[in-house]
Amino acid sequence: MMAYILDLDGVIFRGSEVIAGAPDAVNRLLDSARVLFLTNNSTQSRDAVSARLNASGIRCRESDVITAGYAAAVHIRKRYGAQKIYPIGEAGLIHELKAEGHEIDEGGDEDAVADFVVVGLDRDFTYEKLRIGLRNILAGAGLIATNTDPLLPVEHGFLPGAGAIVRALETASGRSAFVIGKPNPPMMDAVIDHLGLPAHECTLVGDRLDTDILAGSRYGMKTVLVLTGVDTAESVRQSRIKPDAVIGSIAEMREI
Kindly tell me the sign of the dihedral angle through the C-alpha atoms of 4, 23, 54, 40.
Answer: positive
Reported residue count of the chain is 256
**How far is Cα 89 from Cα 116, in angstroms, rounded to an integer?**
13
Those residues whose C-beta lies under 8 Å from the C-beta of residue 197, and which sit 6 or more positions away, are 1, 3, 34
Give the HSE-up count for residue 176: Cα atoms under 13 Å, Cβ half-sphere: 3
Let me know: does 122 contact 90? Beta carbons within 8 Å. yes
105 is known as an active-site residue = no
- The H or E element containing residue 38 is strand 34-39
Q: Which residue of the set 9, 64, 149, 231 is catalytic?
A: 9
Instruction: List all residues 6 or more positions away from 230 whose beta carbon is below 8 Å from its beta carbon.
Output: 10, 151, 153, 158, 207, 208
Establish whether 64 is a catalytic residue. Answer: no
Among the listed residues 207, 203, 216, the one whose alpha carbon sits nearest the alpha carbon of residue 151? 207
End-to-end CA distance of the chain: 16
Among the options 7, 149, 207, 212, which is catalytic? Answer: 7
In degrees and rounded to multiples of 5, residue 16 shows phi and psi of: -90, -5
- Active-site positions read 7, 9
